[in-house]
Homo-oligomer: A and B are copies of this chain.
């Protein structure tokens, strides 16, 4: 079905579905499950030590012989070592984010690694294209976790980035159904990156309390906050309320102190009131925890159904 799709061809996968690399939620178990199901699984290296990353890559290779990726946020203290490990262990794809795409792209590509870079605006998309990355992941305001200052939504961002660069664009932010995949392709994307939906999978390393919080959340239950430090979309909870109060009091020093350790506390350890819970606005559309293989099967089946429905709708 996707034989002519540029992302499928570039990454040598079956479906143009990339699993986002998410701190504390996406270790080798999730990545290998997504890759085995025909998408591109991603190990989120953001909160890993070099030793942990090495173990995760090796275990991922034990479980799948399909391509997979490592996501390296370039603000990570270990980014340099992480990049070297990916080269040494011949990781097929590296996704860079939160930093300058010039830093490692040439080195990675020389070592036959495909490079994708995450952006939230045109300026960085064009910078990444110039740096030689293979494709852009354009992430809208709906996305969980770190986010762009412009607050540009997926619906506006994808047509904008698509006409600004000549390399393939992967849509991210808000995607969790086959309808979204069809809409993303209609907007000009060649593929999608999905995060929050995969947190709510059986294979993700997120604490079950966090998974349950996602499937029980409704519209309006996530909000973009920390706008003056680094815009971040969180599920509202007791900790979010504290942050909000400190923001209103312009108490940024206190915020910087209080956020340490909170992502781990919330997402890995399952303290859903006092921890930080990064998730997308589409939590309101996610209702059950499923195995990755079933999630991808559902996405593709719904995509096909919606595509046929669209065909039937018009006398073209």
Contact = CB atoms under 8 A, between A and B. Distances in A.
A155 B310 CA distance: 17
A159 B140 contact: no
B160 A174 contact: no
Given A122-B219, A177-B159, A316-B1, A281 B224 contact: no
A306 interface: yes
A294 to B, nearest CB: 19
Contacts of A142: 153, 155-156
Given A140-B153, A223-B151, A284 B160 contact: yes
A152 B184 CA distance: 17
A179 B174 contact: no
Nearest to A6: B313
Interface in A159-190: 159-160, 173-175, 177, 179-180, 182-188
Interface residues of A, number: 54
Contact of A284 (B156, B182, B187): B156
Q: How many identical subunits does the complex contain?
A: 2
A4 B313 contact: yes
Contacts of A149: 220
Contacts of A141: 141, 153
A121 interface: yes
Nearest to A280: B156
Contact of A220 (B1, B151, B185, B224): B151
Interface string A291-316: 00000000000001011101101111
Contacts of A182: 183, 186, 310
A250 interface: yes
Interface in A124-140: 140
B5 A313 contact: yes
A2 interface: yes
A248 interface: yes
Given A142-B156, A174-B153, A220-B121, A315 B187 contact: no
A155 B152 contact: no
A174 to B, nearest CB: 4
**Which 9 pairs of residues, A with B, have the shortest CB-CB distance?**
A150-B220, A183-B183, A182-B186, A183-B186, A153-B153, A155-B174, A154-B155, A155-B155, A183-B187
Given A4-B313, A304-B316, 6 more contacts: A4-B314, A153-B153, A154-B155, A156-B219, A159-B177, A179-B187
Interface of A: 1-5, 121-122, 140-142, 149-157, 159-160, 173-175, 177, 179-180, 182-188, 219-220, 223-224, 248, 250, 281-282, 284-285, 304, 306-308, 310-311, 313-316
